[in-house]
């Protein structure tokens, strides 16, 4: 059974955005100014604070960190009597280091740069960066990434990333929505029950944000256990079959001019504007395959045609994904980092944290400057939520992970 944080420790640290450490120090040294600052922030960004803060709070106590020489304050909620530490995003959780000292090193983990290389370039040691990176995976994926219940995506994509843990084959049950990695659970096998537990992690976190959350569709490949797992988790969900995978199976069986011709005809079917037109194009493709093709190529094309009704379901949901391209691109990122790590080592819990750290780093990684100049948002997080807390990706992530991503 996987280890979890004790419930009495979850969400007891409020992380607040600030432009600089000097800005924070100026406020924390003045109790009246600190209180006004928190009242302003809790009104502007209530998702970063416990809901009971609206009924008032007192300044509980303060102390100076030995590690960072930084003064910190704790507040006590009048409604519940709970005490919360208020920490600026300029320092890492547990005050392990200042954000500015590790931000550039952790940024390079997006390309899987080894921890030993980070230590060689930036100082400290490899284990320090390993622990700092793993800690990024501790907060909730959904609660940290999606800040308002109304923004929870109703149309999902799901697939399993094949990987290894200490030489044994494992799988990362990956859930994607709105361009963000919202679920990344490490499971030992690709059975229905194992994947149900893996994908269930996403659903549990989503319902922590919105108890009545019910995704409408999920697009998957043809793996039976994946589809069964989602049907068990959400009986009302509509399963959409990826058209791309059927085309790829056809392309694997032919070469040259024939491959180009079959590909062109298959995608012509995909581009149909409605169910009726799609069905008509499928019938023409089937007739052509029976008359012009033979062997394995014909078999693959006819199999695609036999799945017509499953492909047609997508026309009832214009906003849903019809192929798994939206998750394949993100799994390419997972694959790159995992290969550089030579996959998972150590315990199941460390593998779990690493998979989640990869997911959150993707959600908060900054887009290239060229993309931003073309009007793109700063990151997938901003594309989903419409705002960001700070221009720096790590400041933004740490702030969004206030209270561990929980809603209290």
User: Using the 8-state DSSP alphabet, how is residue 52 labeled?
Assistant: G
**Cα–Cα dist 53/3, whole Å:** 30
Burial of 32 from C-beta contacts in 10 A (0-12 / 13-18 / 19+): exposed
**Cα–Cα dist 175/206, whole Å:** 12
The pTM of the full predicted model, rounded to 2 decimals, is: 0.92
Asked whether 155 and 333 are in contact (CB, 8 A), the reply is no
Each residue's pLDDT tens digit, 155-213 = 999 999 999 999 999 999 999 999 999 999 999 999 999 999 999 999 999 999 999 99
| pLDDT for position 260 | 95
Residues with Cβ within 8 Å of residue 156, at least 6 apart in sequence: 175, 176, 177, 182, 215, 217, 218, 219
**Cα–Cα dist 212/234, whole Å:** 12
Q: Is 77 helix (H, G, I), strand (E, B) or coil?
A: strand
Q: Is 321 helix (H, G, I), strand (E, B) or coil?
A: coil
Q: Is residue 370 over pLDDT 90?
A: no
| pLDDT for position 310 | 95
Each residue's pLDDT tens digit, 23-68 = 999 999 999 999 999 999 999 999 999 999 999 999 999 999 888 8
Q: What are phi and psi of 79, to 5 degrees?
A: -75, -40
Residues with Cβ within 8 Å of residue 381, at least 6 apart in sequence: 145, 180, 363, 364, 388, 396, 397, 400
pLDDT above 90 coverage of the chain, percent = 90
Per the structure block, which two tokens stand in for 309? Answer: 């009704």
| pLDDT for position 6 | 39
pLDDT above 70 coverage of the chain, percent = 96
């Amino acid at each position: 059974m996987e280890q979890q944080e004790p419930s009495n420790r979850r969400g007891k640290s409020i992380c607040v955005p600030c432009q600089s450490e000097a800005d924070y120090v100026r406020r924390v040294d003045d109790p009246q100014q600190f209180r006004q600052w928190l009242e302003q922030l809790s009104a502007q960004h209530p998702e970063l604070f416990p809901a009971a803060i609206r009924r008032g709070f007192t300044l509980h106590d303060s102390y100076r960190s030995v590690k960072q020489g930084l003064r910190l304050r704790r507040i006590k909620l009048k409604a519940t009597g709970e005490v919360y530490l208020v920490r600026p995003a300029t320092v890492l959780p547990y005050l392990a280091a200042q954000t500015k000292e590790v931000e550039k090193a952790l940024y390079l983990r997006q390309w899987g740069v080894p921890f030993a290389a980070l230590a060689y370039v930036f100082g400290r040691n490899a284990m320090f960066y390993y622990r700092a990176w793993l800690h990024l995976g501790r907060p909730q994926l959904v609660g940290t990434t999606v800040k308002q219940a109304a923004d929870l995506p109703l149309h999902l994509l799901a697939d399993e990333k094949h990987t290894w843990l200490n030489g044994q084959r494992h799988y990362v049950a990956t859930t994607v929505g709105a361009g963000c990695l919202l679920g990344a659970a490490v499971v030992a096998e690709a059975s229905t029950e194992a994947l149900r537990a893996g994908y269930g992690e996403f659903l549990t976190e989503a319902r922590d944000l919105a108890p009545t959350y019910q995704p409408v569709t999920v697009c998957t490949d043809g793996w039976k256990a994946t589809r069964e797992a989602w049907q068990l988790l959400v009986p009302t969900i509509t399963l959409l079959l990826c058209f791309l995978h059927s085309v790829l199976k056809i392309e694997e069986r032919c070469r040259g001019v024939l491959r180009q011709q079959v590909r062109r005809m298959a995608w012509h079917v995909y581009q149909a504007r409605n169910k009726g037109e799609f069905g008509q194009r499928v019938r023409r493709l089937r007739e052509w395959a029976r008359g012009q093709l033979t062997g394995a190529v014909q078999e693959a094309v006819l199999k695609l045609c036999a799945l017509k009704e499953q492909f047609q379901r997508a026309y009832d949901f214009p906003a849903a994904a019809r192929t798994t391209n939206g998750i394949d691109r993100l799994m390419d990122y997972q694959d790159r980092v995992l290969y550089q790590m030579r996959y998972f080592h150590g315990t199941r819990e460390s593998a779990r944290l690493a998979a989640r750290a990869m997911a959150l780093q993707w959600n908060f990684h900054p887009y290239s400057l060229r993309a931003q100049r073309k009007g793109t948002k700063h990151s997938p997080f901003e594309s989903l939520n419409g705002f960001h807390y700070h221009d720096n990706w790590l400041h933004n992530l740490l702030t969004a992970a206030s209270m561990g991503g929980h809603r209290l």
